[in-house]
Amino acid sequence: MRFVRRYLAPRLIQYVLVVILGVTVIFFIPRFLPSDPVEAQINTIQAMGTLVDPAAVEETIAILREMYGLDKGLLNQYVSFWGRLFTGDFGPSLYLFPTPVSQLIRQSLPWTIGLLLTTTVLGWILGNILGGLAGYFTRSKILKIVDGIAMFVRPMPYYILALILIIFFAYLLPIFPLGGGFPIGVRLSLSWSVFKDILRHAFLPAMSLVLLSAAVNHQTMRLIVQSVKDEDYIRYAKIGNVKERTIFSRYVMRNALLPQITGLTLTLGVMFGGALITEIVFAYPGIGTLLYQAILTSDYNLIMGISTISIIAIATGLLLIDLLYPLFDPRIKFK
């Protein structure tokens, strides 16, 4: 009971607040900016080349305004925005006209979640192990080289790293495909060859994400381990003749990992953005590429849908990590 009151309830309240604030920001940004989404859509339709007669344009404007509820007051619009959110209805996409936005998102979301989940976990584990070793065994030559590489990769923005990888491993040495999630013309089915193709296409985008997240974790973990190493209890363990390996894995790593779990929650938003950017570079069929299409075609509905879903997805992910936190930290106990 104490756990619920002290830990669970505040965390849930925070979750709800974050979602509300995020969705509110998304709702208000377009309304405080000078450009009119309806006009933008009309321009898009007209830019497609067909000559539309003015009466039809007027009618379309009226319909669009009604659909967005722009003819009602701001408060009214806000309430109906939430209503649409709960039913998962973001209207039709302009880019693939009558297809509902929710269906497009549903098709792309698994790709992004798959990519983000594997790369985050891999990068986190790899970075923390290497960083922990580098912080503990400061004299090793190999670890110093790894440290140098991490220092070089760490400040790269997602786009540049992905670009460099694609230039080297797809143009200059054509080992991997230039982009996409699977070869054109292949139907997705449960067979080994399709699975192999998917892996081959996912390799470069996954590698750029893993490299970056491993480098980030490596650099922070090294610093944390260096400071944990100087703690008194480590000194006592050494005097008490505890094996070096046990000290490293049980006492140093386990304590140093706790702030890294917190760090994971703080960087999840950045990593999600990074995954979107990487997908755009590799034309990987996830949310990022969908977003790029939406930007190219000024598909307002699709962008609103993607932004809202993403914020809710990230907030939920963070909530899950936070709820799992007591499993790692014995000082917080479920009671």
Interface residues toward another protein, by CB under 8 A: 14, 17-18, 21-22, 25-26, 29-30, 33-35, 37, 40, 151-152, 154-160, 163-164, 167, 171, 219, 227, 230, 266, 268-270, 272-274, 276-277, 280, 291-292, 295-296, 298, 303, 306-307, 310-311, 314-315, 318
Q: What is the dihedral of CA 18, 270, 297, 289, to 10 degrees?
A: -120
Only one residue has tokens 């070096």, namely: 244
Contact (Cβ atoms closer than 8 angstroms) between residue 306 and residue 291: yes
The residue among 197 and 278 lying less far from another protein, judged by its C-beta, is 278
Residue 184 C-beta: closest distance to another protein, Å = 19
The residue among 21 and 332 lying less far from another protein, judged by its C-beta, is 21
Rounded to whole angstroms, the maximal C-alpha distance in the chain is: 88
Contact (Cβ atoms closer than 8 angstroms) between residue 166 and residue 279: no
The residue among 152 and 195 lying less far from another protein, judged by its C-beta, is 152
d(CA 142, CA 130): 11
The residue among 161 and 247 lying less far from another protein, judged by its C-beta, is 161
Residue 53 C-beta: closest distance to another protein, Å = 27
Residue 201 C-beta: closest distance to another protein, Å = 20
Who's near 226: CB < 8 A, 6+ residues apart? 135, 138
Residue 324 C-beta: closest distance to another protein, Å = 17
d(CA 84, CA 305): 10
d(CA 225, CA 221): 6
Residue 193 C-beta: closest distance to another protein, Å = 30
Residue 163 C-beta: closest distance to another protein, Å = 7
d(CA 12, CA 318): 11
The residue among 102 and 226 lying less far from another protein, judged by its C-beta, is 226
Q: Which of 209, 195, 204 is nearest to 170 (CA)?
A: 204
The residue among 42 and 125 lying less far from another protein, judged by its C-beta, is 42
